[in-house]
Amino acid sequence: MSFPIRQLEAFRAVALKGSITRAAEEMAISQPAVSRLLSALSSSVEFELFQRVSGRLVPTREAEFLLREVERVLDNLGRIGQLTHDLSTRKAGHLRIACLPGFATSHLPKVLADFLSGRPNVTAVLEPDRPERILEWIIGEQYDCGITDEFAGHPTAESTTILMRTVCILPPGHPLAAKAEIWPADLARERIIHTRRDSGFYQRLSEAFALRNLRLGSHVETRQFTAACMLVAAGAGVSVVSEMDAREYEHRGLVIRPFRPDVPHRLSLLRPANARASLLALEFLDTFEKSLEPFRFR
Amino acid sequence: MSFPIRQLEAFRAVALKGSITRAAEEMAISQPAVSRLLSALSSSVEFELFQRVSGRLVPTREAEFLLREVERVLDNLGRIGQLTHDLSTRKAGHLRIACLPGFATSHLPKVLADFLSGRPNVTAVLEPDRPERILEWIIGEQYDCGITDEFAGHPTAESTTILMRTVCILPPGHPLAAKAEIWPADLARERIIHTRRDSGFYQRLSEAFALRNLRLGSHVETRQFTAACMLVAAGAGVSVVSEMDAREYEHRGLVIRPFRPDVPHRLSLLRPANARASLLALEFLDTFEKSLEPFRFR
DNA sequence: GAAAAAACATAACACTGAGTTATGAAATTG
DNA sequence: CAATTTCATAACTCAGTGTTATGTTTTTTC
């Protein structure tokens, strides 16, 4: 058996104002309305709520105790109104993002931080993980959105694939820096740093070499473009990576040149296929996609 | 703008049961009632609440987020019902007790602990203080009840005065232990430990001596009976104290003998005079008074 | 202490929210 | 595809909460 909210509101208003008339003003309703609400509450409670002392209504000790609980309830209830509004305008909620480890340390955190800064009631989890796990957890709805690359497609995961420009990166002072653009032939004798041989990007890159009867050499193999950037910056060799990552490391002296022919990197934004995807996730993915614009291949 | 509680209850029930029909059973109302409550909530909220998936209603991510808040509100609201019941049966509340320092370490804490043990939702503060402060803070309603002695009465504090039996206490092996009862004449040569000279009890005790042309000697003066008990037990002298306190120290070897003539100790239970006194305070004072029964002077 | 003013309670009535049953439409299941 | 289940809608009732009008009690004022 619970109490009508209206009675609790009247109780709070009267306790606050010390008078039924003023409580009525506070609640913007008539005095008899409050009078009756309070007497209804009063008669369903086994103790006195107020005591008259020189024309003021003073809560009894029991009422004082009750008041604290009542205020908690009413405050929380009031906050629900705000919350629903925040939820519908994507200003509140929780976002679970999965990404490849390489993304967790470069572009993505900046975009996420910016996204959150205007949404104080949004919390987020950013989880770096292996591609297979990302897909798996997106399907199982453990994550609201996932960022991976070279995604093959899956029936229960919605995906948007974005082609990202790639560039050739050279260590500071490398002779090839003299060229305006780099072709496979230029790299035939270089120490190549590249992504895993089973990655889609590696395969398409080596295909570009094969078409010209060249072989893509191998000096260091690494999963992440970011690692490749570090290695090149340290003079370990040359590489072809996403321009987005390259720009992050440009300040370390990396030389960036266009690579021809274009072998774009295929980035995929995932979310659970069913409609349960949160508005927030959609908005974030949208924001993220826009942030990729400068590095996008057309 | 806040939401009708009923809609929130329907929302919770549907989220819990995954079906409107079963939610209606849960709420013990008809299915159309729940259907309408939910659609009303749905249309006052700007996002989808549920998604149909193979005949089950599954909350969207936003609804999931909202649900947590809604449950908080409803749980708190439900608790208010229990709370009002507890308050009226004195099973919940807060008790602020002031007492003389001597009481804070002997009988009172035991009674209070016992009182609280059957009332898990009652909290209490036990504050030892000087008599003047006790009165002052009772009047100012900082305390719900006060326990003091030799109280003179005051218009804005209700008081009940209880006469407590007093006894003569002797150190272990004291020659007077041979007597069945002790009279002033027996104490004429003893080292007397007594309460402050301006205390009502001291004055009435010395009067008993004066009536017999004897003088009440003085070896140590202390505010508290409990201190007197300790001193006597340690062999510092003899004293006349409340039997209640004496019994607390009997295990230390104190010898207890009746003292004649009877000079009862006047204990007073105070509470604020206006009707704001809490039911809990009344009940506690009642309990406390009953606990004094064995030591009461008749 | 009587008159004036303020605060509150009660009565009579209207409207809305929330309950009901009856029933049809849509989706799931066998 | 038929049967069953689930849900939505309609029509109606009732209680809760609002209103105004008015009387009663309490406080204040002179």
Do residue B278 and residue A61 have CB atoms under 8 angstroms apart? yes
User: What percentage of chain A exceeds 70 in pLDDT?
Assistant: 98
| Residues in Cβ contact with A239 at an 8 Å cutoff, skipping those fewer than 6 apart | A168, A169, A192, A193, A194, A228, A229, A231, A232
CA angle B53, B56, B59 (to 5 degrees): 80
* Residue that the structure tokens 């030799």 belong to: B150
pLDDT of residue A156: 78
How distant is the Cα of B14 from the closest Cα of chain A, in angstroms?
16
Task: Out of B58, B61, B92, name the one closest to residue A278 (CB).
Answer: B61
Q: For residue B242, what pLDDT band results from cuts at 50, 70 and 90?
A: very high
Q: How far is the CA of B276 from the C1' of C10 (A)?
A: 27
The whole-number pLDDT of residue B157 equals: 84
Q: Is the pLDDT of residue B55 over 90?
A: no
**Strand D nucleotides in reach of protein CB atoms, 7 A cut-off:** 5-11, 16-22, 26-28
- What region does A253 belong to: left with phi over 0, alpha with psi -120 to 50, or beta? left
User: With 80 as the cut, is the pLDDT of residue B245 above it?
Assistant: yes
What's the pLDDT score for residue B275?
59
In this prediction, residues A200-229 reach a mean pLDDT of 91
> In Å, how far is B63's CA from the nearest CA of chain A?
9
CA-closest candidate to residue A27, choices B298, B248, B2: B2
Nucleotides of C under 7 A from a protein CB: 6-12, 17-23, 27-29
Q: Per-residue pLDDT tens for A99-145? A: 988 888 878 999 999 999 989 999 999 999 888 888 888 888 889 99
Rounded to an integer, the average pLDDT of A34-57 is 88
pLDDT of A56 higher than 90: no
Q: In chain A, which residues touch B (CB < 8 A)? A: 1-3, 5, 8, 45-48, 51, 53, 58, 60-62, 65-66, 69-70, 72-73, 76-81, 83-85, 87-89, 92-94, 144, 274-281
Asked if residue B106 has pLDDT above 70, the reply is: yes
CA distance A72 to B25: 29
Q: Which residue type sits at A26?
A: E
* φ, ψ dihedrals at A269, nearest 5°: -105, 125
Q: For residue A222, what are the CA distances in angstroms to A200, A232, A262, B80, B98?
A: 14, 12, 21, 61, 74
Helices A20-27 & A5-17 angle (0-180, nearest 10): 120
- Phi, psi angles (nearest 5°) of residue B161: -105, 135
Rounded to whole angstroms, how far apart are CA atoms B145 and B269?
7
Q: How far is the CA of B4 from the C1' of C14 (A)?
A: 21
Structure-token match 């993304």, residue found: A103
Q: Among all protein residues, pick the one whose CA is nearest to the C1' atom of C7.
A: A21
Report residue B232's pLDDT band, with 50, 70 and 90 as the boundaries: very high
Q: Please name the residues in contact with B211: beta carbons below 8 A apart, sequence gap of 6 or more.
A: none
Model pLDDT for residues B124-139, shown as the tens digit of each residue: 999 998 888 888 888 8
Rounded distance between C-alpha atoms, residue B168 and residue A39, angstroms: 58
Interface of B with A (CB under 8 A): 1-3, 5, 8, 45-48, 51, 53, 58, 60-62, 65-66, 69-70, 72-73, 76-81, 83-85, 87-89, 92-94, 144, 274-281
Predicted pLDDT of residue B276: 66
User: Mean per-residue pLDDT for A229-233?
Assistant: 92
**Of the given ranges (B79-83, B276-280, B284-288), which has the lowest mean pLDDT?**
B276-280
Interval A198-219 mean pLDDT: 90
pLDDT recorded at residue A1: 65
- Interface mutation vs chain B, best among A75, A84, A97, A278, most B CBs within 10 Å: A84
Task: Kindly report the average pLDDT of chain B as a whole number.
Answer: 90
Is strand D less than 7 A from the beta carbon of B57? yes
> Using one digit for the tens of pLDDT, what is the confidence trace for B193-202?
999 888 889 9
Which structure tokens are listed for A104? 């967790």
Judged by CB atoms closer than 8 Å, whether chains meet at B80 and A1 is answered as: no
Of A76, A88, A281, the CB nearest to B76: A76
Quick one: pLDDT at residue B223?
A: 86
For B57, which residue in chain A has the nearest alpha carbon? A276
Mean pLDDT across chain A, nearest whole number? 90
Q: How far is CA B233 from CA B171, B219, B246, B253, in A?
A: 5, 15, 10, 7
Is residue B68's pLDDT more than 90? yes
Question: What are the pLDDT digits (tens) for B133-158?
Answer: 888 888 888 899 999 988 887 777 88
Confidence of residue A11 (pLDDT cuts 50, 70, 90): very high
| Portion of chain B with pLDDT greater than 70, in percent | 98
B15 Cβ nearer than 7 Å to chain D strand: no
Both tokens of B264, joined, read 């009862």
What is the pLDDT averaged over residues A37-50? 90
pLDDT at site A80: 92
Q: Which long-range contacts (CB under 8 A, 24 or more apart) does B17-24 make?
A: B18/B56, B18/B57, B18/B58, B19/B55, B19/B56, B19/B57, B20/B57
Place A48 in a pLDDT band, splitting at 50, 70 and 90. Answer: confident
Interface-testing mutation among A8, A62, A119, with chain B (most B C-beta atoms within 10 A):
A62
Query: What confidence tier does B277 reach under pLDDT thresholds 50, 70, 90?
Result: low
Domains of chain B by start residue, with CATH:
5-88 (1.10.10.10), 92-163+266-295 (3.40.190.10), 166-263 (3.40.190.10)
CA→C1' distance for A54 and D26 (Å): 9
pLDDT of the residue at B51: 85
Query: Are the beta carbons of A106 and A229 closer than 8 angstroms?
Result: no
Q: Contact at 8 Å (CB) between B10 and B41?
A: yes
CA B140 to chain A, closest CA, distance in angstroms equals: 14
**Could you report the per-residue pLDDT of A155-187, keeping only the tens digit for each?**
778 889 999 999 999 998 899 999 999 999 999
pLDDT given at position B298: 81
Q: How far apart are the C-alpha atoms of A294 and A49, rounded to whole Å?
A: 66
Backbone angles phi and psi of A180, in degrees to 5? -75, -35
Does A273 score more than 80 pLDDT?
A: no
How many angstroms separate the CA of residue A12 from the nearest CA in chain B? Answer: 14
- Alpha helices (H) along B31-145: 31-43, 61-88, 107-117, 131-139
Measure A55 CA to C5 C1' (Å). 13
Give the whole-angstrom CA distance, residue A240 versus residue A243. 9
Distances (CA, A) of B273 to A6, A204, B25, B267: 33, 91, 52, 18
Average pLDDT over residues A195-209: 91
Which residues in chain B are contacts of A144 at CB distance < 8 A? 61
Chain A residues in contact with B77 (beta carbon < 8 A): 2-3, 5, 73
pLDDT value at residue B279: 85
Whether the pLDDT of residue A65 is over 70: the answer is yes
User: What integer pLDDT is reported at residue A210 of this predicted model?
Assistant: 92
pLDDT on residue A158:
84
Quick one: pLDDT at residue A276? 66
For C27, nearest residue by CA–C1' is B55
Contacts of B42 (CB under 8 A, 6+ apart): B48, B49
Q: How far is B82 from chain A (nearest CA, A)?
A: 9
